[in-house]
Amino acid sequence: MSAFDELPKVYYFPPLYTRQVNSLIRRQQIDTWIDLILQYAKSMNCWMMTSEGNLIQTKIDELTGSDSNAIEKKSLFVNETIQRSIPHTFVEEIWTHMVENGKAIRTEHDIESNSVYYIMWKGVDLWSSVILQWFETAVKLNQVVTLYELSQGDETIGWDFHGMPEPLLAKCIKSLCDRQRATIMKDEYGKPVGVKVI
Amino acid sequence: MECWHYVEVTKSGQPILRENEKDILIEDKIGLYHGKNRIKNRQSGRLFLTTQRLIYVDDVNPVKYSVCLELDDIDHLEYSSRFLKRSAKVILFLLDMGNLKSGGQSTSKAEGPINEVSTWVCPICMFTNETEGVLTENTFPSPICENCGVPLVYEMTMNTINIIDNKLGNSDSNLEGSGEKNLNACPACTFINHALIKNCEICGARLPNAKIRSHNVNHEDSRVLIELDCKLLRDKSNKNSNLEADFVQFSFRKGDGLLFSQALEKSLEDIKNLRQKNSFNEGIVSINGISIGIKETVELPYLEKRLNKFGITSLENSRETQLANNDILLSNALTDLNQLMSLANDIEKVFKTHMKNETDNLQNKPSFLIDREKFYNKSMFLNEIAREIFQFVITEFKSEKNDDIIMVTLVDLYALYNKTMRIGMGYISPSEMREACGRFEVLGLTSLKLKKLNGRVLCLSSENSFDYINNQIIKLLEDEPGCDILQITQTMNKHSTGTSWTIGIITEVLENCINKGEIVIDEQLSGLTYYKNDIWI
């Protein structure tokens, strides 16, 4: 798998896969893991990961149709080269820390009883400012733009947030709303569909 | 002054005993006096009573100031109890060296008891008696005639006394020129030692002529420096006479020393008894086939000579009995031979194991037995134990390269010490060992300290040992990342030949490294392996 090859050398350091006893060292170990997850997701251009370390390629809507191809077979948490894997409890600990640090957001969906996380290789605020920047450069201010357009439209190709799942996109835009820069339009089910940035 | 001799003492302050020498009692806080004067630098020490010597071991500088006194040199003792400010003392009167030199041989008393035999003819029954030693007018008690039981009257038998010197007769053939005086034969094992040796090289027994010899040679042992502390101003002659004082004193600064003086008196008596006893070939049955004492009663006949029966039947009968007897004789001989062979095998086995032991620990044979009963109180016992443990650790765990790096857990040490040193004398308890190790500082044994590793494991270690082993392990993990504890232990012990780092110590050091974050772990089903932490600092 080419994506694993791009990971830093520390990925092949056996003690990385054992929960270190020393709490100071463990904190750094968890940080290393968070960096690894972010880097991996970014390089694969993925937004979601199951708690077992498998990336999810497709959009969350299609997941409900249980499309198994959408899930990567190989888990980041299993390193076959050195025959190591992280124990389940330690994985939980890593996710907890990641969510606390705002580097991951838990979705409402579960796949095969594993929770799914959005991987935030940029923070929510950073994303919202990137989106705002797009609105400004694309001269879309004071126009209604659908979330689908933002995520999948041709105009956003080349921007980092292209391909971002719509619920996540909505979360990012929500912070723009808090700053009174945007309004979100919802459909009849209360699901956000469009946005107007002032 | 010549009565004081040099004594070898270990670094931890325990005397090294001779072979066959056993210690009897130990007394604390002793001061030495020669004559009436204090001896400088020897006012606080321990006094060991052994079967051969009185050994003073100084508290301040045991190696330099320790001296000993041969029990053989002591004539008798007096005990004076504590009175007001005066502490209890034992006064030892020494045998007069000068007299020994000139008159030692003319007295029939002790010297060389088997060397000379006097023969005399009883005036009553004309029986020729033999008496050991030289008969003189002063011989007391007078020997008694073996035949008629009348004691000897010197004046009447004067003419018939004939003195035969056995030694002269035996030895003039093989050693001429050296003179019979220098034949320093051991009374116990007959080994002829060098003329200057005082204790037999083979069996360690005190040689009979040691005193005369040392006096003749008149050499001074430079290792023993005795300085008297003369408080009062005296004129020179007086001082000289003090130097020649024929008594020494031991002052008991603590305790009354009564028990000690009694023990000393008893051992002096024992020595005197021993001297008068013929010490070799004790309990022997026969010499060169000639039996002594108990005679063999049953003699098996080879041939039945008394043929008081007639006819062919009787001849046949007698022949049969003869054959049967021969059988018995033969089988007896064979069992004897078998027994002899098995004995020989046993001896060989013992010899072999002994040889192996000898080569194994040639330099550190246990020198000194510490028995609980020899001590008045527990504190003294523990002090002595502490010294022994110190010496034990120093010799046992010393490596060739870095002899100052020692580290051993108390648990390991406890097992080792009890198994090697305490067998036959009663094991010490863990708490006693702990307490004894805690006393090192007080006893001036500073090179080893009791340390607590990771707040839980007690260790006996030298100053820099922890850092040393720490660095060693980290270096090792740098070279070979992913070692488990077994590999670490093996590699560590491969590098250093003498010292063996126990797995307990290494575990603790690793634990410590992990706590400090210098080492990280990798846990698998097969066990823990260790890596140097280069990443998370």
H-only helix segments in chain A: 2-5, 23-43, 60-63, 88-100, 124-137, 147-152, 166-178
Please check whether residues A130 and A186 belong to one and the same domain. yes
Residues B522, A32: C-beta atoms closer than 8 Å: no
Number of structural domains chain B divides into: 4
Encoded amino acid at B274, one letter: L
Q: Which amino acid is at B477?
A: L
User: Do B414 and B517 belong to one domain?
Assistant: yes
pLDDT at residue number A30: 92
pLDDT of residue B147: 79
Q: Roughly how many angstroms between the first and final C-alpha of chain A, as a whole number? A: 44
Give the domain-ending residue among A91, A119, A147.
A119
User: Rounded mean pLDDT of chain B?
Assistant: 74
Question: How far apart, in Å, are the Cα atoms of B333 and each of B327, B343, B345?
Answer: 10, 15, 18
Residue B13 within a domain: yes
Q: Would you call A20 and B521 a contact, using CB atoms and an 8 Å cutoff? A: yes
B483 part of a folded domain = yes
Task: Give the model confidence (pLDDT) of B364-386 as tens digits.
Answer: 444 456 666 667 778 888 888 88
Q: Residue A18: which of B515, B521, B535 has the nearest Cβ?
A: B521
Q: Tell me if B299 is assigned to some domain.
A: no
Give yes or no: residues A114 and A20 share one domain.
yes
Examine the domain organization and report whether B27 and B170 are in the same domain.
Answer: no
Nearest residue on chain B to A11, alpha-carbon basis:
B535
Domain of A22, CATH number, reads 1.10.10.570
pLDDT score of A109: 74
pLDDT averaged per 10 residues in sequence order, chain A, 198 residues: 71 88 89 90 84 73 50 82 87 91 82 82 83 84 83 80 82 82 81 81
Euclidean distance between CA atoms A18 and A41, whole angstroms:
22
Residue B500 maps to a domain:
yes
**Both tokens of residue B86?**
């005066």
Residue A152: domain span? 124-197
Query: Do B462 and B526 have their domain in common?
Result: yes
B533 to chain A: which residues are within 8 Å by CB?
A: 15, 25
Domain shared by A32 and A78, yes or no: yes
Q: Are residues B402 and B518 in the same domain?
A: yes
Of B515, B516, B531, the CB nearest to A15: B531
Inter-residue contact B75 to B84 (CB < 8 Å): no
Instruction: Please answer yes or no on whether B535 and A21 come within 8 Å at the CB atom.
Output: no
**Domain of residue B201, residue span:** 100-208
Q: Which of A155-159, B128-132, B181-185, B410-414 has the lowest mean pLDDT?
A: B181-185
User: Do residues B67 and B153 share a domain?
Assistant: no
> Is residue A64 exposed (0-12), middle (13-18) or buried (19+ Cβ within 10 Å)?
exposed
Q: What domain count does chain A have?
A: 2
More confident residue, B500 or B147: B147
Note the pLDDT of residue A58. 62
Same domain, B89 and B38: yes
Q: Is B281 within the bounds of a domain? A: no
- pLDDT confidence tier of residue B204, bands split at 50, 70 and 90: confident
The CATH number of residue A138's host domain is: 1.10.10.10
Q: Specify whether B412 is located in the same domain as B527.
A: yes
What pLDDT score was predicted for residue B365? 46
| Residue in chain B lying closest to A33 (CA) | B536
B488, part of any domain: yes
Contact between residue B54 and residue B42 where contact means Cβ atoms under 8 Å apart: no
Whether A82 has its CB under 8 Å from any CB of chain B: the answer is no
SS3 content of chain A, % helix, strand, coil (to 5): 45, 20, 35
Residues A41 and A65 in one domain: yes
Query: Looking at CA atoms only, how far is residue B514 from chain A in angstroms?
Result: 7
